[in-house]
Structure 1
Amino acid sequence: MTAVLDRARSLPGWARSALIAAVLVAVLSVTVTLTGQIQLTSGGTASAAVRLGLPILLAGLGGLWAERAGIINIGLEGMMVLGTWGAAWAGYQWGPWAAMLGGLVFGALGGLLHAVATVTFNVNHIVSGVAITLLGTGLTKYLATLVFTPVSQNPRQSPRLEGFTEFSIPGVSEGLAALEAQQRVFVSDLAGLLSGLVTGLTPILVIGVGLVPVSYLVLWRTAFGLRLRSAGESPVAAESLGVNVVLHKYVAVTISGALAGLGGAALVLNPGQLGYLENQVGGRGYIGLAAMIFGNWRPAGLLVGSALFGYVDGLQLRAGGEAVHALLYGATLVAVVVAVLWAIRRMWTAAAVALVAGLLVYAVYWSVDTVPSEFASYAPQLVTLIVLAAASQRLRPPARLGEPYRRGEGR
């Protein structure tokens, strides 16, 4: 067993992420069988999870670009807020493609401001990020009042926008739906979850998911990406080799803001929303940052983390407290699996902690029949805290993340 675990750790990042996803699907399948909560793996839940996870994924990708260059970007929330207003304004004027562009541009402006503060003036990264979030929130409130009040009579929201036409993959979508309807253990559960990936798609969803492999290829398979990552690992050494560290930091943080702004556009163009609404970001920028950390600053892990948070959010919106209650049973199974794996690796303290945590979760599951809606609505934030606590032992951020840098200091 130890040899198997060693081989698993030697797998590339995408393979490990796929393995984790397979284990989670198996746990969900067992949970559905034992609790009868078929919403846990239904196609509708999966579709909602994809749509709700997309803004988190894009915010996390934005954080990945900035932090790989050594800049902490806690201002992702504010850049997403700017993106929501930019997308709503442009989308109201010229349609959904313009909404995407508007979100990108306004988010990029927030990223550029963060770059000026942190790279040029060496402002503390956390302070700058918080300031941009406050600025973005206040600025969008003012702009919404100025622009949307005459056309919607409500300064807190825009008129309903034109959205993208949804589409599904012919043949595949119908086949998965048929398999899901057969209610076979694991097979139907997997089919239900996969059907959410091929049904009710929109261009912004396809582009957003496609940005994951694009980010990996650019950052890890090009000379530009190597120089950008060297700015976060050892900027002095990079400069000594002729790399324009300041330029690469500026580019990285501006792209970071653009991706976060695109995440804001994804919220505005969500078929269930189709418009700007004050406070609609709702902390997703911070959850995106948590997904990036969970993914250990790698695109594949970030994708798994975003899917996890989007899934919990979609589940509580579609099925409410009863489904979240059943998810506690699944969390117990995950804790037991983790405890066994750590015990095999002779990490006795970690195994004991995981086992005790699993028993506590199971005690909660046994003692109540449903999770109150007030608590269920905060399930994504709670999962964020639990996942970060569990992943904290294996994290490896860029070596010079958050450290100030001045041009020429290595000479």
Structure 2
Amino acid sequence: MTATETVAPAKAGNGKFRLRWPHYLLIAAGLLVLLSLVRMVDGADDVTSSGTVSAALRLAVPIFLAGLGGLWAERSGVINIGLEGMMILGTWTGAWAGYQWGPWIGVLFGILGGALGGLLHAIATVTFGVDHIVSGVAINILGLGLTQFLAGLIFNAGHAKDLGGGPRQSPPIDPIKTLTLPMLSGGKIGGWESPDWLGSLESHHWFLVSDIAGILRGVTNGLSLLTLVCLLLIPLTFVILWKTPFGLRIRSCGEDPYAAESLGVHVYRMKYAAVIISGGFSGLAGAFLVTVAASLYQDGQTGGRGYIGLASMIFGNWRPGGLAAGSLLFGYTDAMNVRGGGQSVHALLLFVTILLLGVAVWQGVRANRLRSQVVTDLGRREVRGAYVGAVLSLVAAAGLLVWFLLSDEVPGELVSFSPHLTTLLVLALASQRLRMPAADGLRYRRGEAR
């Protein structure tokens, strides 16, 4: 392989630069250095503490599981906004089985409950051709109403009530075992108390070193076995959808089902499989909430995470890696709300200010480069758009900087809204680079003309 062949994959077919994994790692490293600097300037140690990282991971897992469910369905061409309802079904069925037969049986029943919701969505959309949005909304309403009825009927009577159940909650569920790496993150081996080297490094609050130690300790101390299993589903989904014939058939149904049909793909079967798997992932997200996050079912427990998972999937451009990044972003901002409060979010104001300055510089350089190359009206509009983006980024950065300098912490009302605001901003900024599957949401009928 020549040097030219080695460098060539870094560029897309249209000549634009394409980011690869080494570039993403460099970006992540740069963001970590910037976050460490912001932490030291503002004294907000919870920004990269192990407790915050652990909470962020715990909050992100049900979101990216729901997002993976949306990914499977939409890669087959079926829009699934019923993720929330399928999650709700997973919480109830997981809790119902979990308090009786143990948490792992609860996880299995949670998957089955979500898969049942996926099956209903597939019957409506694939077999009967119901509008995907209408069917998804119906699943959400059905899941909420059915679980509230069943909770009052079963958890508020008999043996379940004696164990602590009620009309809005289930009896407690035994916790799933956790893992802690000895020597690195403490813990006990028999009667021996293991050292906590990462915790010791974190407690010194050194620049970058303590931040890395806090992040590593957050993912190696008290990690639930179910969390580990769920994390492995990200690479597994990528391998199945992009590296196997089964995944290729599913993705072909989402891009052009009639072409797939002409090549012998059973489109209905593939869509059914993908939507049922989608429901299973959402049900697993619900089971995670009742076995790891809370250890019991409570009414309203999902809290809109199905919708946020759908937003994370869109932010990730219908890819598992981007979906995981979007879920972690929301989980992290939510963890800031739970643990750090106003001071930690206040430190993030400076972090976002520096990022916006970087965006403004990048947009200005991009506009100058484009101006010397374009000759068409479309190109001129792109140049103007880049200049406008640079100016808006500078204005926003200036406003946030003034806010940071004139305040000591962010008001509690804004802190609680910061995760949702982050989701909206990220989706708005990422919207220009997104490309959904070409046949996503389109009604398919075998043998019909296009």
Question: Post-superposition shift, 1:30?
Answer: 1.7
User: How far 1:365 moved relative to its partner?
Assistant: 2.8
What is the CA-CA distance between 1:54 and the residue it aligns to?
0.5
Identify the residue that residue 447 of structure 2 maps to in structure 1: 408
1: distance between equivalents of 2:340 and 2:435? 36
Gap regions ≥5 residues in structure 2? 1-7, 186-195, 368-385
Offset of residue 337 of structure 1 = 1.9
Looking at structure 1, the residues matched to 30 and 280 of structure 2 have their Cα atoms a distance apart, in angstroms, of: 34
Alignment of structure 1 residues 172-211 onto 2, 5 Å: 172-173=184-185, 174-211=196-233
Q: What does the per-residue CA deviation read over 1:301-358, in whole Å, with 9 as the maximum and x for residues that have no partner?
A: 1111111110111111012122112212211122122222222322322222222222
SS at match of 1:104: helix
Cα root mean square deviation, aligned: 1.9
Q: Give the unaligned 5+ runs of structure 1.
A: none
Counterpart for residue 281 of structure 1: 302
After superposition, what is the alpha-carbon deviation per residue over 1:268-317, rounded to whole angstroms, capped at 9, x for unaligned? 1125x210011011111111111111111111111111111101111110
Alignment-derived partner of residue 10 in structure 1: 18
| One-letter identity of the residue aligned with 1:221 | K
CA–CA distance in 1 between the matches of 2:419 and 2:288?
A: 18
Summarize the alignment of residues 34-53 of structure 1 with structure 2, pairs less than 5 Å apart: 34-53=41-60
Identify the match of residue 313 of structure 1 among 311, 319, 334: 334
C-alpha distance 190-283 of structure 1, shift in aligned 2 (>3 A): same
**Change in 2 beyond 3 A, CA 1:87/1:232:** same
Alignment partner, residue 30 of structure 1: 37
Q: Deviations over 1:89-115 (max 9, x none)?
A: 010111110111011000001111111
Give the Cα–Cα distance (whole angstroms) in 2 for the partners of residues 247 and 365 of structure 1: 55
Report the Cα offset of residue 181 of structure 1. Answer: 2.2
> Which amino acid in 1 is paired with 2:263?
L
Structure (1 or 2) with the larger CA radius of gyration: 2
Match of 1:326 among 337, 340, 347: 347
Contact 1:17–1:301 (CA<8 Å) still a contact in 2? no
Measure the CA separation in 2 of the matches of 1:132 and 1:139: 10
Q: Are residues 1:337 and 2:358 paired?
A: yes
Partners of 1:130 and 1:101 lie apart in 2 by 25
8 Å Cα contact 1:83-1:104 kept in structure 2 = yes
Amino acid in the other structure paired with 1:66: A
Match status 1:359 vs 2:371: no
Cα distance 1:47–1:401, how it changes in 2: closer, same or farther (>3 A)? same
Inter-partner Cα distance in structure 2 for 1:137 and 1:285: 13
Pairing partner for 2:240 from 191, 194, 218: 218
Quick check: 2:354–2:397 contact (8 Å CA) kept in 1? yes
**Which of 84, 88, 105 is the equivalent residue of 2:91?**
84
Whichever residue aligns with residue 184 of structure 2, its letter is V
Match of 1:298 in 2: 319
CA–CA distance in structure 2, aligned partners of residues 92 and 81 of structure 1: 17
* Larger RCO, structures 1/2 (Cα 8 Å, 6+ apart): 1
Name the SS of the counterpart of 1:157 in structure 2: coil
Structure 1 residue 24: Cα displacement:
2.8
Cα offset for 1:168?
A: 1.1
2:387 to 333, 345, 348: 348
Runs of 4+ in 1 over 4 A off after TM superposition: 5-9, 14-17
Partners of 1:295 and 1:301 within 8 A in 2: yes
| CA distances 1:349-385 after superposition (whole Å, capped 9, x unpaired) | 2222222222233333334332222321121111110
Instruction: Give the one of 168, 193, 207 matched to 1:156.
Output: 168
User: When the two structures are superposed, what TM-score results if normalisation uses the length of structure 2?
Assistant: 0.86
Q: AA paired with 2:181?
A: I
Using the TM superposition, name which of 381-390 and 173-182 deviates more. 173-182
**Mean Cα deviation higher: 360-369 or 400-409:** 360-369
Q: Distance in 1 between matches of 2:143 and 2:96?
A: 15
Match among 435, 440, 448 for residue 396 of structure 1:
435
Q: Which residue of 1 aligns with 2:260?
A: 238
Contact 1:79–1:136 (Cα < 8 Å) also in 2: yes
Shift of 1:67: 0.8
CA–CA distance in structure 1, aligned partners of residues 140 and 295 of structure 2:
23
Distance apart, 1:410 and its partner CA: 4.7
Decide whether the 8 Å contact of 1:9 with 1:16 is kept in 2. Answer: no
Contact 1:27 1:334 in 2 (8 A): no
Distance in 2, Cα, partners of 1:154 & 1:409: 52
Cα pair 1:47 1:197 within 8 Å, conserved: yes
Distance 1:292 1:363 in 2: 34
Taking the aligned partners of 1:36 and 1:390, their CA distance within structure 2 comes to 29
Query: In the alignment, is the contact (CA less than 8 A) between 1:56 and 1:306 conserved in 2?
Result: yes
Instruction: Return the letter of the residue paired with 1:298.
Output: R
Residue 3 (structure 2) aligns with: none
**Contact 1:239 1:410 (C-alpha < 8 Å) held by counterparts:** no
- Mapped partners of 1:19, 1:276: distance in 2: 41
Distance in 2, Cα, partners of 1:160 & 1:197: 26
Report the counterpart of residue 421 of structure 2 in structure 1: 382
Name the CA distance, whole Å, in 2 between partners of 1:17 and 1:157. Answer: 43
Aligned residues: percent identity? 53
Q: Output the amino acid matched with 1:223.
A: P
Work out whether residues 179 and 225 of structure 2, in 8 Å CA contact, stay in contact via their aligned partners in 1: no
1:407 offset after TM fit, Å? Answer: 1.4
Report if the CA contact (8 A) 2:165-2:171 is conserved: no
Distance 2:30 2:83 in 1: 31
- Alpha-carbon offset, residue 186 of structure 1: 1.4
Deviation for aligned residue 1:27? 2.5
Listed as ranges, the matches of 1:244-259 within 5 Å are: 244-259=266-281
Mapping of residues 116-127 of structure 1, within 5 Å: 116-127=123-134
